[in-house]
Amino acid sequence: MRSSVLVPAVLMASVFVVGTSEYLIAGLLPQMAADLEVSVSTAGQAVTAYALGVVIGGPLVTIATVRLPRKGLALGLLVLFAAGNAVCAVAGSYEVLIAGRVVASLSHAAFLTVALMMVTRVVAPDRAGSAIAAVAAGFSAATLLGVPLGVLLGEGAGWRTPFAVLAALALAVAGALAAALPRQDAPATSVREEIATVLGRRVLVVIATTAVGLAATSTVFTYLAPALTGITGLGPGAVSTLLLVYGAGSLAGGLVAGRLADRSLAGTVRGTFIGLAVVLAAFPFAVPWAGTAVVVVLALGVLTSATTPALQSLLLRHAGQAPMLATSVNVCAFNIGIAAGSALGGGLVAADGLRWLGLAAAGLSLVALAISYAAIPRRPAPASV
């Protein structure tokens, strides 16, 4: 009982640290670029380098470590993450900074994969969705608190300081994990079995649903601030407050969805994407007025984060006894979806379609819903007699 409460809490704290690192650098680009004597656009490639490390390195690291004991692997990945951020903190050149970001990124998808696997092992099967949601809440908390606090610290104490703090926090949570995690033996599965699981039809369908679903939300979220300033007419302070509202909704939505997924996984997946389609379609008509904009942004935050525990629980249902690589690829699908949605939104904004992003995003949400039906049959097949 103690481990079923303590382990999810410590893993959530660990994911909070890792999640903060991913988006922190975007708020520190101007002073980082000035210090390292590169342009802001060049410094921004540190974001791209991290994303590529997650998408490409995550599955490769997972394959390379698939037979290692889970506890030792989790601790090793946190130490690797700490080392990467320490390199960033002392980087004397742009090239060294990129190297540090890549090193840190290699642990990102693999650690989240291990965290999701371990937390489902210490709770009852009927609480898997809630446990996954608790761990995933670490990312919502990173967006809501970690990134703003890190940027604030960087503005006051220099851009290197947040990276040093993240390195120290990673070592601290590694120590907490060492004390809290029960020993978990290495999985008996082989690399061949893991690859065969990823190539299974229903697993591929879940991964595709993840990518398309996140593309839907990212299409709007990436350009949410410009829409709120340019269409709603809010000032920078009001936009920041509204983004905090989004983050709070995201934190709550993920936790609630985890409980709902434990009760009805199919209903949670379908209800989430239907709700997203409605909210996204309403966005163009709600954003011109501040009151309705607040409502639609809060609803978007709640529903966006609800996709994580629902889709991850669905993936684990179909991954069987070889879920490690499938989970890692699904984590990458989240990042691919975010990148694709951002690119689509950028093209629409360039065509003067800022206000109407929600309609395109709603269409993507309906596509994700349609794809998900291949992973969740509408009705169970009748029992044979």
- Would you say 63 and 194 are in contact if contact means Cβ atoms under 8 Å apart? yes
The residue written with tokens 């040093």 in the block is: 164
Please report the pLDDT score of residue 379 as a whole number.
52
Tokens of 84: 């990467």
Around Cβ 130, how many Cβ atoms within 10 Å?
22
Distance (Å, whole) CA 199 – CA 103:
28
Burial level of 95, CB count in 10 A (0-12/13-18/19+)? exposed
Burial level of 272, CB count in 10 A (0-12/13-18/19+)? buried
2-180: CATH topology: Growth Hormone; Chain: A; (1.20.1250)
Please report the pLDDT score of residue 380 as a whole number.
45
Burial level of 158, CB count in 10 A (0-12/13-18/19+)? middle
Quote the distance between the C-alpha of residue 360 and its chain's center. Answer: 22
Measuring CA to CA, which residue among 58, 369, 316 is closest to residue 209?
A: 369
Does 2-180 match 191-372 in CATH topology? yes
Architecture of the domain made up of 191-372: Up-down Bundle (1.20)
Tokens of 138: 């670490």
pTM (two decimals): 0.79
Domain parsing of the chain, residue ranges: 2-180, 191-372
Please report the pLDDT score of residue 4 as a whole number.
64
List the beta strands (DSSP E) in 282-372: none
Instruction: Please give the full DSSP string across 66-129, using - where no structure is assigned.
Output: TTS-HHHHHHHHHHHHHHHHHHHHH--SHHHHHHHHHHHHHTHHHHHHHHHHHHHHSS-GGGHH
Distance (Å, whole) CA 174 – CA 90:
22
Per-residue pLDDT tens digits of the chain, which is 385 residues long: 455 678 888 888 999 999 888 778 767 777 888 888 888 777 777 777 887 888 888 888 888 887 788 888 889 999 999 999 999 999 989 899 999 999 998 888 888 888 887 887 777 777 777 888 888 888 778 877 787 788 888 888 888 999 999 999 999 999 998 888 877 666 667 778 888 888 888 889 999 999 999 999 988 887 887 888 889 888 877 887 887 788 788 888 888 888 888 888 888 889 999 999 999 999 999 999 999 999 999 999 889 888 888 888 888 888 777 777 888 888 888 878 887 888 888 888 888 888 899 999 999 999 999 998 887 755 544 433 3
Task: Report the alpha-carbon angle 282-287-291, nearest 5.
Answer: 100
Residue 377: DSSP 8-state: -
Residue type, 235: G
Please report the pLDDT score of residue 356 as a whole number.
92
- Would you say 273 and 361 are in contact if contact means Cβ atoms under 8 Å apart? no
